[in-house]
Structure 1
Amino acid sequence: MLFLFIISFIIVQRLVELVIAKDNERWMRSQGAYEVGAGHYPWMVTMHSAFFFSLLMEVILFNRPLSSVWPLFLGLFVVTQVLRIWCLASLGKFWNTKIIILPGANVVRKGPYKWIRHPNYLIVTTELLILPLFFSAYWTAIVFGVLNVWMLSVRIPAEEKALKEATNYEAKFSLK
């Protein structure tokens, strides 16, 4: 029951985030923004969709039990959700699931972005580990942990390169 509640919550949350991302993309494009890294985006969407499918299948087909330390994972999950909302709220109209660059924009350096360059990626990585471990889906944790590292090794450099070229990113984060 807890498994279905959490999975349903996350799926609804992600669908709402996609609506927000689409609205933000429309607004940014109306301001002259453009997309970077469009080639890897479908792979990222596929990876995240496959993660949920894999988690569902591993838990249901293999009858995985709730972790013996599930209260810890539940607490970590709640914390990641609060941090996730903080990231999205801090970026406001600039938050997106795609890499959308608005030339000349001042890079957001508030909220968690005051201390770390990519807090949302850290949160997503944490979620991709917490959720499977919460429900003893170890294969899902391993496979998608590795796939996520690969995805971020492509995505973060593409995003940082575009931000350095088109915004004040380098000055804001002193990347010299």
Structure 2
Amino acid sequence: MYYLFVLAVGVERLLELVVSRRNTRWSIGRGGREFGQGHYPVMVAMHALLLASCVVEVAGAHRPFIPWLGWPMVAVVAASTAVRWWCVSALGKHWNPRLIVIPGASLVRRGPYRWLHHPNYTAVTAEVAALPLVHSAWVTAIAFSVANALLLSVRIRAENDALGYA
């Protein structure tokens, strides 16, 4: 069942890439400029490797499903996915995992952006930690949480710089 859950997360990520591609064309068509191109492939690779590592650790290390840990982590993954899609909805065509800024566009202050500057990254951080822990893959949870923190430190700095440009 866990492998199907990880597969479902992977399919959801592919759907995000489809939305991203459409929104990229829309943004570039309106004069959008992309920033942080160097870290984007690293971000995509990290998320793909997270999914693979979840499967490899659970299968290779025979990690058990521990109900008192697994079920709450399923809830965290579900909630973080809901928050991420709330971010997508609030940003509309401006949403993109690529860092594209359209000059003159105003910052979004609705949806979860009313309360947080980076709600999508908060949700991703929760998901990166929780997805492996659904099936007690604690090595993956630790390793990818650290990798995600390092990547987000680069990403958020680039995003803040890019938004200062706008």
The interval holding the TM-score normalised by the smaller chain is over 0.9
Identity %, equivalent residues: 44
Which residue is 1:150 aligned to? 150
Deviations for 1:90-123, whole angstroms, at most 9, x for unmatched residues? 0110100110110110111100001101000010
Measured in 2, the distance between the counterparts of 1:57 and 1:71 equals 20
Which residue is 1:171 aligned to? none
SS in 2 for 1:35: strand
SS in 1 for 2:67: coil
Identify the range of structure 1 (23-32 vs 52-61) with the bigger mean alpha-carbon deviation. Answer: 52-61
Deviations for 1:22-41, whole angstroms, at most 9, x for unmatched residues? 00000000000011000111
AA at the equivalent of 1:164: G
Measured in 1, the distance between the counterparts of 2:153 and 2:76 equals 25
SS in 2 for 1:163: helix
Please say if 1:91 is aligned against 2:91: yes
Measured in 2, the distance between the counterparts of 1:52 and 1:78 equals 16
Please say if 1:18 is aligned against 2:17: yes
AA at the equivalent of 1:78: A
- Map 1:92-171; keep pairs closer than 5 Å: 92-166=92-166
What is the Cα deviation at residue 68 of structure 1?
3.0
Q: Provide the aligned length of Structure 1 versus Structure 2.
A: 165
SS in 1 for 2:97: coil
AA at the equivalent of 1:114: R
Measured in 1, the distance between the counterparts of 2:88 and 2:105 equals 17
Measured in 2, the distance between the counterparts of 1:68 and 1:102 equals 46
Gaps of 5+ in 1: 167-176
1:67–1:133 Cα contact (<8 Å) kept:
no
What is the Cα deviation at residue 65 of structure 1?
0.8
Gaps of 5+ in 2: none
Please, what TM-score do these two structures have when normalized by structure 2?
A: 0.96
Which residue is 2:29 aligned to? 30
SS in 1 for 2:34: strand
What is the Cα deviation at residue 62 of structure 1?
1.3
AA at the equivalent of 2:112: P
Which residue is 1:172 aligned to? none
How large is the Cα RMSD of the aligned pairs? 1.0
Measured in 1, the distance between the counterparts of 2:135 and 2:81 equals 18
